[in-house]
Amino acid sequence: QKEVEQDPGPLSVPEGAIVSLNCTYSNSAFQYFMWYRQYSRKGPELLMYTYSSGNKEDGRFTAQVDKSSKYISLFIRDSQPSDSATYLCAMARNNAGKSTFGDGTTLTVKP
Amino acid sequence: GAVVSQHPSWVICKSGTSVKIECRSLDFQATTMFWYRQFPKQSLMLMATSNEGSKATYEQGVEKDKFLINHASLTLSTLTVTSAHPEDSSFYICSAIDKSETYGYTFGSGTRLTVV
């Protein structure tokens, strides 16, 4: 069993829809929870990170972490075609060590 | 924010030759850098952790003699793919940690290697 499991997708939604991306994990030592966006042939770009449990909002993006359920989510409101990309969740034990990544979910937002 | 520059962005080489990929932290010092490999439509697979001034730590299954890592300064790590073969064709991505940030894990833009 993988340490981090991510909903595989692909996901296709109309412009303006609310998108929910999800990951589960098995290692209770994870303290940092990240979401990255990766466009084709580019390196991942950090969207948001959360330390421990809770919610974090940044513009149209909201990250949620439920450590009791070992479940994290990323919500995208008012999705735009420019949000079309692969989204990777990642987790780490600390802020200076290696991260473990999910397999990614490819999102397409259609105009 | 922290910027990590990776060069080249793409390279084509002949089978049997070696290729060097550079990863630089532009505005911060990085004592630790990571090298990943990514196949199409797959996630990032950690290859090795590069520590300035010491030997890299390789993940299980990664050949250290094939993927040479040198972290000679606080701003530069290099990955050399030696005697490359077509199966080494992949997207290689580095990342570096800016410890002055609460969470400063920044990726380079990646290098697409094609071995023909």
CB–CB of B34 and A43 under 8 A?
no
Whether B49 and chain A come into contact, CB under 8 Å, resolves to yes
pLDDT recorded at residue B48: 95
Of B46, B105, B110, the CB nearest to A46: B105
Q: Looking at this protein, which amino acid is placed at residue A2?
A: K
What residue in A sits closest to B90 (Cα-Cα)?
Answer: A41
Residue-wise pLDDT for B88-105, tens only, equals 999 999 999 877 776 667
Positions in chain B short of pLDDT 50: none
pLDDT recorded at residue A4: 93
pLDDT recorded at residue B102: 66
pLDDT of chain A along its 111 residues, tens only?
Answer: 789 999 888 999 999 999 999 999 999 999 999 999 999 888 999 898 898 888 999 999 999 999 999 999 999 999 999 999 999 999 998 877 788 999 999 999 999
What H or E segment, with its residue span, contains residue A76? Answer: strand A71-76
CB–CB of B49 and A51 under 8 A?
no
A101: tokens are 């990544």
Q: Residue A83 has what DSSP assignment?
A: G
Which residues of A are less than 8 Å from B91 in CB distance? 41
Which residues of B are less than 8 Å from A32 in CB distance? 103
Q: Tokens 């098995």 correspond to what residue?
A: A26
What residue in A sits closest to B99 (Cα-Cα)?
Answer: A96
Of B44, B102, B109, the CB nearest to A95: B102
Q: Tokens 């080494």 correspond to what residue?
A: B88
Of A44, A46, A103, the CB nearest to B42: A103
Q: Of A19, A33, A39, which is closest to residue A91 (Cα–Cα)?
A: A33
What residue in B sits closest to A32 (Cα-Cα)?
Answer: B103
- Beta pairing, strands A105-110 & A85-92: antiparallel
Whether B35 and chain A come into contact, CB under 8 Å, resolves to no
